[in-house]
Chains A and B, each alone.
Chain A
Amino acid sequence: MTPEQVLQIAAQGVAAATPYLLAALGETFGQRAGVFNLGVDGVMLMGAFGGFYVALQTGSPLLGVAVAMLIGALMGILMAVSSVTLKAPQGISGIGLYMFGLGLSTLLFETLVRSPVPLRTGFDRVPIPILSDLPILGNIAFNQNVMVYAAFLLVPMAWFVLNKTVFGLNIRAVGQNPQAADSLGINVDRVRYLALIIGGVLGGAAGASLSLAQTKIFQENMTNGIGFIAVALVYFGGWSPMGVMFGALLFSIVTTLQLWLQALGVQISPSLITMLPSVMTIVALIIAVRLYRTGTPAALGKPYRRDEA
């Protein structure tokens, strides 16, 4: 493999990381607040369809993303009603949310669009002047579509919000020790609602990045489980936006690499190469557990009831 090809794989991997990154960043907010949302894939599918349909009808991908984020927010509220207000076990609420999103996005697609059609007006690459001419980094970091830039800019922003703002402090407090947070006057449920809504908005955006930027197509179940991998990436990244970004990049670059190896005629069974990212994730999870033994939000996965404190 030539150095040039390595750079191309990196550039393609960065773009392909976008839906993983957006969804995983959103999931980070929820998990930091103590809520494990397994339904991200369903949120993404709803966002992907909503964004696609609006862009198809109006010709505006920006409006599409906005609608996708709004739909994502609604899905986040649905998750919150079930898992925060009604204290349902989060893993299973998430499965319900996933099935709901998977089914509804398919139903709406089959009713409103029917046949696969491409978007005329999706997000194309926008090279950033001067920067995109830089050697090495130019093509990887500064010749991508808007959704890619937005996703990576969100990483420091998410870090800032989580670590340097009162809201972020509240999120972490609620995820670590809701009882203590409650006694300090923090409204646990409200913080968790907000965290889940942020997660939903980013999940919707992740879906839109798939249908409006990456493929410019919508098809039934087009995420093929990206949302589930995003949940794993949050663990992998140790609940920090930077770690999540690292995980998303690693995952998508390995996925891209296996396509490149096939095209380069490397004689390995495609099934074996396709397994690689999954095997890698399991190994990474084992390592992540060792690394972040103390970093796990202590109240993750546990509904909070004031009357039991």
Chain B
Amino acid sequence: MTTTAPPRRFRLTDLAAGQDLLTAVAVPIVAVLGALSVGAVFLILVGADPLRVYEKLIDGALGNTYSQTQTIGKATPLLLVAIGVCIAFRANVLNIGVEGQVIIGGLATTAFTLGFPSLPSWALITGGLLAGFAAGILYGAIPGALKAYFGVNEILSTIMMNQIAIQILILLLTGPMRDVSASATSANIIQTAQIPREGWLPLLMPRTFFHTGALLALALAVVGFIFLWGTVLGYRIRAVGANPDAARYAGVPVRRMMFLAMALSGGLAGLAGGVEVLGVTHRTIQDFSTGYGFSGIVVALFGSLHPIGAIPASLIFGGLLVSGTKLQSVGVSAAMVVVLQGLIVLFVVSSAEITRRRRRAHAAQSAAGSEAAPTAESSAAEAAS
């Protein structure tokens, strides 16, 4: 073998698709169209009219003001979760433990607000959200440490951590944190007591799920962007994800960065749980977080692993989830939305190769003789080394 360049390892950050405008827009659109066409085949198979179903999907998410606020309400936790997933992704860590981290965060927020009911509103909300954030960090730090210092595959450990979180939820809701109010006891409800009203996130539009948590999520998307691209820490995290060997050579503590990214990712998921408690459910209930984990990953991926990109992505998938439950009116199970999500993931990840080939061809054309296609990530890593 006479190759000069060392074999380039595949990295999760390669999924941050094309750097040119065309691919950035084309990839998600083509992926969605692809998923919709394959989905249509299955819809015809089960005897439904795909056009009617898809029309209902759009109508259910955006048809009127109420459904629009529903979409935003659903997008809020998804966005928070996705920002965290982006950070982990950027350090080449795949956080599948979001589901569990959301649950633990929600429990912590509930426990704080129920524990200090006499605090003034601002302190109750801030403290509650910080409690959720901290609990999420702790719960994410466990698989983070296992990954960074013990080499345990984070995908596998987080799957188990999710199972454990569900049991912790049941344990607390049927035990120490159980709602002991008279009506709940008589009906044997599995939930915590309602948190004090002072702890509720103010609504931006009355009678909706459109609460101030949405603004917090938006702000954190910007913070996440600044963190990743504007701070030394964020730069180091990205360097680890882009090329761990080069990063290590440049003196970046690779393990610590992986651990940190996972913990932060868990923190944002925990915060999502807290926001959901203070903004929507106002208590922790059974089935508290069902499906935010995988949907959050889908959103992060669809947003090209970029916190700002996650904003439109969270709206699109929030809308999809909202209208999914309304598909029953056209005789199609909400499971159709899960099918579409799966297909979209497959299409998005698979199209990365096509953009990559495009990029290579482009690079070969414009800069004859250069060995590798320069991307923002790899040049960042090169700069580090």
Contacts and interface: CB of A to CB of B under 8 A. Distances in A.
Q: Do A and B bind each other?
A: yes
A289 B161 CA distance: 18
B146 A278 contact: no
Main secondary structure of the interface of B (DSSP, over half): helix
B352 interface: yes
Contacts of A97: 342, 346
For chain A, what secondary structure do more than half of its interface residues adopt (helix, strand, loop), or is it mixed? helix
Interface string B279-292: 00000000000000
B346 A285 contact: no
Interface string A201-243: 0000000000000000000100001001101100100000000
B301 A92 contact: yes
A271 B171 contact: yes
A101 B342 CA distance: 8
Contact of A232 (B159, B170, B333): B159
A235 B336 CA distance: 33
A81 interface: yes
A225 B146 CA distance: 21
A107 interface: yes
Given A87-B353, A92-B94, A275-B167, A42 B342 contact: yes
Interface in B325-361: 332-333, 335-346, 349-354, 356
Interface in A240-297: 269, 271-272, 274-275, 278-279, 281-282, 285-286, 289
Contacts, number: 168
A82 B349 contact: yes
Q: Assign chain A's interface to a size class.
A: 35 or more
Nearest to B169: A271
Given A102-B342, A232-B156, A309 B94 contact: no
Interface string A115-150: 000000000000000000000000000000000000
Contacts of B345: 92-93, 95-96, 99
Contacts of B46: 107-108, 111-112
A179 interface: yes
B150 A106 contact: no
Contact of B341 (A88, A103, A302, A309): A103
A91 interface: yes
Contacts of B47: 111
A86 interface: yes
A99 B157 contact: no
Given A81-B350, A88-B349, A286-B152, A271 B167 contact: yes
A179 B7 contact: yes
B353 A88 contact: yes
A106 B338 contact: yes
Contacts of A275: 163-164, 167-168
Interface residues of B, number: 59
Contact of A89 (B15, B42, B340, B341): B15
Given A82-B350, A110-B333, A286-B150, A100 B159 contact: no
Contacts of A285: 146, 152-153, 156-157, 160
Contacts of B336: 103, 107
A303 interface: yes
Interface of A: 38, 42, 78, 81-82, 86-89, 91-93, 95-104, 106-108, 110-112, 179, 183, 220, 225, 228-229, 231-232, 235, 269, 271-272, 274-275, 278-279, 281-282, 285-286, 289, 301-303, 308-309
8 contacts: A82-B346, A91-B155, A96-B344, A96-B349, A103-B337, A111-B46, A282-B146, A289-B150
Given A101-B342, A269-B175, 12 more contacts: A92-B12, A92-B301, A95-B345, A99-B338, A102-B342, A103-B335, A106-B333, A107-B42, A107-B46, A275-B167, A282-B152, A309-B3
Interface of B: 1, 3, 5, 7-10, 12, 14-15, 42, 46-47, 94, 96, 146, 150-153, 155-157, 159-161, 163-164, 167-168, 170-171, 174-175, 294, 297-298, 301, 332-333, 335-346, 349-354, 356
